[in-house]
Structure 1
Amino acid sequence: MMEFAALVKQRRSIRHYIDRPVSHDLIEQICEAGRWAPSALNMQPWEFVVVTDPEVKRQLGSNAGVMGVKWPHISSAPVVIVICARKTSRFARDDCLLAAQNMMLQAADLGLGTCYIGGFSGERVRQLLQIPSGYTVPTIITVGHPHGQPPVPQKRPLSELLHQDTFEGRGVGLTGYRRALSMLGRLLTERRNKP
């Protein structure tokens, strides 16, 4: 089992998988991690459709894209997990995306690769998989044993995106943030100690 910080940094979007099945036990562990995601008012609006049938995956990969886009890695992935959201909660989509993140991190911890897929026709996916009309499809995740590991992508430095108190308090970074907290602590101590 990996340390959490290392796991977050190690996870990549994997689009190429080796031809090796993923055990039912591993899929259950991934879905269990999704089940434990937080949700607004604990509504737990998610349902997970696990697709392993090659023909169904082919249809998803060929027909789910918008504006003619095809998703070949859906067809070639050993497992595709379609996350469905009940329409009864206005926060269902957000809740399902939290579940998806849990699932992708769990998969990475198990040595599996995943790819988060957006930009597809949820309505087409719903029809292909016979998902009831009371559900939407916020995301799809492909899962499998990775064929290689993509390089680490460039990430913006924390100092460029961390703000203090307002958006204008830009670029303080963690060092600046800790310094500001330390200064605030000293000021409060001085005020308390004044007669």
Structure 2
Amino acid sequence: MSFLDLAYARYSVRHYEDRSVEQEKVDAIVEAGRIAPSAHNFHPTRIVVCDTPELLAKAAACEPRFEKNGSIFGAPLAFVVCAKTEDAWVRSYDDMNSSLIDTSIVCDQMMMAATDLGLGTCWVCAFDPEVARREFDIPEGVEPVSILVAGYAQPRELDSERREARRIPLAQFTDVNA
């Protein structure tokens, strides 16, 4: 499958089968994140792999309204993606810290790798980072940015026309004044 086909195929999954993700797939997803590019190759991203009932419950505690069957959306796998902000490259012109961009690249590569492996994913930003910090004993200077959940999607009829209608038109996407 081409990358563009993969990108079109990926969607946010909020209903998962009750089955574990094989360790070799977990390892491949983690590796995709590890090798992701970062500004100046500083690699400020750190992740927490949640693949046990205890860790999945901690992830679900970060946003209880998404909790289902002891996890976020019932997913059997979650990654808490964090930024070690002091390790990130900083742009000299305006002191923009690249850590949020770098962690987003990592999360995106992991998400697309999971999709390529036949898994469904959902990139979760609506969670309380202070709860994540507490649940996972994340130290100061390391910021929980995203949670990526993954697993085998429950079979559902996908409405590709509806998904396409929610995308902005190309003319608007390529026009910063639009």
Structure 1 segments unaligned to the other structure (5+ residues): 171-195
The 8 Å contact of residues 59 and 78 in structure 2, kept in 1 or not, is answered as no
Q: Which moved more, 1:144-153 or 1:10-19?
A: 144-153
The 8 Å contact of residues 40 and 91 in structure 1, kept in 2 or not, is answered as yes
1:132-179 alpha-carbon deviations (Å, 9 max, x no partner) = 22200110000101112442212222123223xxx45x6xxxxxxxxx
The 8 Å contact of residues 34 and 102 in structure 1, kept in 2 or not, is answered as yes
2:173 paired residue number: 161
Q: Give the superposition deviation at 1:52.
A: 1.7
1:78 paired residue number: 76
1:130 paired residue number: 137
- Whether 1:151 and 2:159 are equivalent positions in the alignment is yes
**Gap change, CA 1:51 and 1:86, over 3 Å in 2:** same
Aligned residues: 161
Q: Give the superposition deviation at 1:41.
A: 1.1
Aligned-residue sequence identity (percent) comes to 33
1:52 paired residue number: 51
Q: Give the partner amino acid of 1:84.
A: C
SS at match of 2:65: coil
Q: Give the partner amino acid of 1:85.
A: A
- Whether 1:28 and 2:27 are equivalent positions in the alignment is yes
Structure 2 segments unaligned to the other structure (5+ residues): 89-96
What's the TM-score once normalised by structure 2's chain length? Answer: 0.83
Q: Give the superposition deviation at 1:120.
A: 1.1
**Gap change, CA 1:161 and 1:31, over 3 Å in 2:** same
The 8 Å contact of residues 33 and 102 in structure 1, kept in 2 or not, is answered as yes
Q: Give the partner amino acid of 2:67.
A: P
Root mean square deviation, CA, Å: 1.7
Which entry has the higher C-alpha Rg, 1 or 2? 1
The 8 Å contact of residues 57 and 75 in structure 1, kept in 2 or not, is answered as no
Structure 2 distance, partners of 1:56, 1:29, is 20
Q: Give the partner amino acid of 1:159.
A: A
- Whether 1:16 and 2:15 are equivalent positions in the alignment is yes
What's the TM-score once normalised by structure 1's chain length? Answer: 0.76
